[in-house]
């Protein structure tokens, strides 16, 4: 019998970057864009396309890099059997506003193609899929808050239908100064292979607990 487990989780909650609930880095936080760039450098990453992304994609990218550090996703799961389910509340609104600004003056009408391409929240999952060679189901849902029940429902439906064996799932929210993210690596694991002391079952109460720790004020 298999169980859906949270085998690792990561979060960005300025000023801290977290892995499995522990702080892996802490960065002074003034400007969100600078914060994300500094985090990229602190994590010693090399992916120049990062700098072309909007803040939402940058945040999703960094959270996934922390999540998958020293974990060889592609050797463990076929790319078609890995899914991505992300929730957020502001969609791509910050970039939508930036694009809108660039087209609001008819006498200075220069929409930027590189801004326009990020005017959809699904671009976030697209960027992650490219980076980690993920070809399974992927979706972004807009929910007011990190919604544990909803996330559980979506992810368990994917596992139940047999479409994925592994899923990166969680919350990524970026709107101006408001940056919060929490991603889980959810795997279907044989009960016989599980070390009892290490398990976090992927269920609404555990999701809710970790969401609270990582996205609400005052916990770090």
Partner 1 sequence: MTPQILNESLKRQQRMELIEKLKLEIIEVLNLEDIKPEDIDADAPLFGEGLGLDSIDALELIVLLEKNYGIKIEDPKEGRKIFASVRTMADYILEHQKK
- Binding residues (CB under 8 A) for partner 1: these are 37, 48, 51-52, 110-114, 117
Burial category of 17 from C-beta neighbours within 10 Å (exposed 0-12, middle 13-18, buried 19 and up): buried
Name the minimum Å distance from CB 217 to partner 1: 31
Name the minimum Å distance from CB 116 to partner 1: 9
128 or 166: CB nearest partner 1 = 128
104 or 110: CB nearest partner 1 = 110
50 or 159: CB nearest partner 1 = 50
DSSP state of 133: T
Rounded Cα distance between 120 and 90, Å, is: 11
Name the minimum Å distance from CB 32 to partner 1: 16
Name the minimum Å distance from CB 95 to partner 1: 14
52 or 76: CB nearest partner 1 = 52
Name the minimum Å distance from CB 125 to partner 1: 18
38 or 143: CB nearest partner 1 = 38
Name the minimum Å distance from CB 58 to partner 1: 11
Report the 3 state secondary structure along the chain: CEEEEEEEEEEEECCEEEECCEEEEECCCCCHHHHHHHHHHHCCCCCHHHHHCCHHHHHHHHHHHHHCCCCCHHHHCCHHHEEEEEEECCCCHHHHHHHHHHHCCHHHCCCCHHHHCCCCCHHHHHHHHHHHCCCCCEEEEECCCCCHHHHHHHHHHHHHCCCCCEEEEEEEEEECCEEEEEEEEEEEEEHHHCCHHHCCECCHHHHHHHHHHHHCCCCC
75 or 114: CB nearest partner 1 = 114
């Amino acid at each position: 019998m298999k169980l859906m487990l949270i085998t690792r989780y990561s979060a960005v909650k300025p000023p801290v970057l977290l892995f499995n609930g522990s702080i892996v880095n802490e960065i002074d936080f003034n400007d969100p864009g600078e914060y994300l760039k500094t985090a990229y450098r602190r994590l010693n990453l090399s992916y120049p396309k990062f700098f072309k992304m909007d803040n939402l994609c940058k945040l999703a990218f960094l959270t996934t890099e922390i999540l998958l550090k020293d974990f060889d996703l592609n050797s463990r799961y076929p790319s078609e059997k890995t899914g991505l389910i992300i929730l957020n509340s502001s969609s791509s609104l910050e970039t939508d506003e930036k694009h809108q600004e660039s087209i609001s003056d008819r006498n200075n009408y220069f929409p930027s193609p590189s801004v326009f391409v990020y005017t959809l929240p699904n671009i976030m999952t697209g960027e992650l899929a490219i980076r980690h060679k993920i070809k399974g189901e992927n979706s972004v849902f807009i929910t007011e808050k990190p919604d544990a029940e909803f996330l559980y429902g979506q992810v368990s439906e994917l596992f139940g239908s047999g479409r994925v064996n592994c899923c990166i799932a969680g919350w990524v929210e970026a709107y101006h100064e408001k940056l919060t993210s929490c991603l889980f690596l959810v795997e279907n694991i044989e009960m016989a292979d599980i070390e009892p002391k290490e398990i976090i079952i992927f269920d609404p109460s555990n999701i809710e607990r970790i969401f609270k720790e990582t996205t609400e004020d005052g916990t770090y």
